[in-house]
């Protein structure tokens, strides 16, 4: 499925190419030591799948970008999975650690 313009913008200058990972999945971007996943759906299922894609990355700082009104949900789900992750809004102006 083609990425939307807002999804590409959420990745920033991290690169436009998705990175293949195990299980036929694709991670949105890797920028240096940061693994970035953008999840715009706001559903618990969508956020959980994004978190599972980030979990595959070892020795990387994990960042999930969600709409601002979904940040609390993403933090809650990341804490349930016991993940050390940064949750930011799409504009990258607010961030919280889970």
Give tens-digit pLDDT for 37-60: 999 998 999 999 999 999 999 999
Contact 64, 37 (CB under 8 A): yes
Q: What is the pTM of this model?
A: 0.85
Contact 92, 9 (CB under 8 A): no
Contact 79, 47 (CB under 8 A): no
* Residue 15 pLDDT level (bands cut at 50, 70, 90): low
- What residues does 37 pair with on adjacent strands? 64
């Amino acid at each position: 499925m083609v990425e939307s313009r807002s999804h590409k913008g959420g990745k920033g200058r991290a690169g436009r190419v998705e990175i293949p990972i195990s299980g036929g999945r694709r991670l949105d971007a890797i920028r240096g030591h940061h693994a970035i996943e953008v999840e715009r759906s706001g559903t618990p299922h969508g956020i959980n799948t994004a978190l599972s894609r980030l979990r595959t990355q070892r020795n990387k700082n994990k960042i999930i970008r969600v709409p601002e009104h979904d940040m609390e949900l993403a933090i809650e789900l990341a804490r349930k999975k016991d993940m050390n992750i940064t949750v930011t809004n799409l504009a990258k102006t607010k961030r919280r650690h889970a």
